[in-house]
Chains A and B, each alone.
Chain A
Amino acid sequence: MDAILFLIFAAIALGCAVNLVLQTHPIASALSLIGVMGALAALYLLLGGEFIAAAQLIVYAGAIMVLFVFVIMLLNAGAEQESRKRLAAKVLGIPLLVVLLGLVGYVLQNALLPSEGVKFGAFRHGTAQDVGRSLFTIYLLPFEVTSVLILVAILGAVILARKEID
């Protein structure tokens, strides 16, 4: 059952990711990216990360992608033109990518020590309680630094996007 669920959601994620790269219209790419994020949220649930799955859906698929779609609509972005690539990139690109991914997969299959696989429900430390306790004790300083980062990002976005006052 675990393997079937993993295969289903992995297939959705892979199909949407390939679609993201191949589509020429940005809005189609954005919708594919939302599909990838939804499938990844389901995979996080299978790995026992309840909180991170919810955060993935709310922050990534909700907030960030709404921002992307908003900007695409605002700029009225159309389909992009066919890119002018060198012949070497055209011929060698996809085979090299396949070789690289095959090598990575082979190394991962063989280099990892055999251990028990992922079973749904075996990892119970991914709840909001555990994540929150860790976040506000061990990782308190990074958490506070992150809030400063967000403040700076907000200021930067406002200053970049404001209308010039002459």
Chain B
Amino acid sequence: MPPLPQSVPISWYLTLSAILFGLGVAGFLYRRNIITVFMSIELMLNAVNLSFVTFSYKLKQVDGHIFSFFVMVVAAAEAAVGLAIILTVFKNRQTLEIDEVSSLRN
């Protein structure tokens, strides 16, 4: 095993961010529960935030933190509206299965 570097390379952070994003995509495609699909979207947003903050470090500017902050605000708004939609869907159909809600397909 090679010795650990004194400082963490930027690419490690970016790779971690890419892996988390890939896992988010996998969960989005694989899961069938609406709430879990929604949480996978949040995971993707978090992965992108990590990229923003990493590039902010690399460029020595605070702008990445601001973008990341805006992403959090949009995620909060999205969670509020999305969960309200999930509540309405459940009220009308008594199901959380994403394959059952396919009336737009036909």
Contact among B8, B42, B68, B83 for A52, CB-based, below 8 A: B68
Contacts of A14 in B (CB 8 A): 16, 19-20, 23
Given A2, A17, A59, A112, which contacts B11 in the complex, CB threshold below 8 Å? A112
Which residues of A in the span 1-56 have a Cβ within 8 Å of any Cβ on B?
Answer: 2-4, 6-7, 10, 13-14, 17-18, 20-21, 26, 29-30, 33, 36-37, 40, 43-44, 46-49, 51-52, 55-56
Contact between chains at A93 and B75 (CB < 8 Å): no
Interfacial residues of chain B within 31-87, with CB under 8 A of chain A in the complex: 31-33, 35-36, 38-40, 42-43, 46, 49-50, 53-54, 56-58, 60-63, 65-66, 68-70, 72-81, 83-87
Give the nearest-CB partner of A161 in chain B: B84
Question: Which residues of chain B have C-beta atoms less than 8 A from A60's C-beta?
Answer: 42, 46, 72, 75
Question: What is the CA–CA distance of A83 and B106 in the complex, to the nearest angstrom?
Answer: 21
Which bucket holds chain A's interface residue count? 35 or more
Main secondary structure of the interface of A (DSSP, over half): helix
Evaluate whether A26 and B32 lie within 8 angstroms (CB atoms) in the complex, with A112-B10, A139-B66 already known.
no
What secondary structure prevails in chain B residues at the interface with A?
A: helix
Asked if residues A125 and B60 are in contact (CB atoms below 8 Å), the reply is yes
- Chain A CB within 10 Å, residue with most, of B16, B54, B72: B16
Q: Which residues of A contact B31 (CB under 8 A)?
A: 21, 80, 83
Total A-B pairs in contact (CB under 8 Å)?
228
Q: How many Å lie between the Cα of A52 and that of B84 in the bound state?
A: 27
Kindly state the separation between the CA atoms of A55 and B70 in the bound complex, as whole angstroms: 11
The chain B residues found within 8 Å of chain A, CB to CB, are 4-16, 18-20, 22-24, 26-27, 30-33, 35-36, 38-40, 42-43, 46, 49-50, 53-54, 56-58, 60-63, 65-66, 68-70, 72-81, 83-88, 90, 96-97
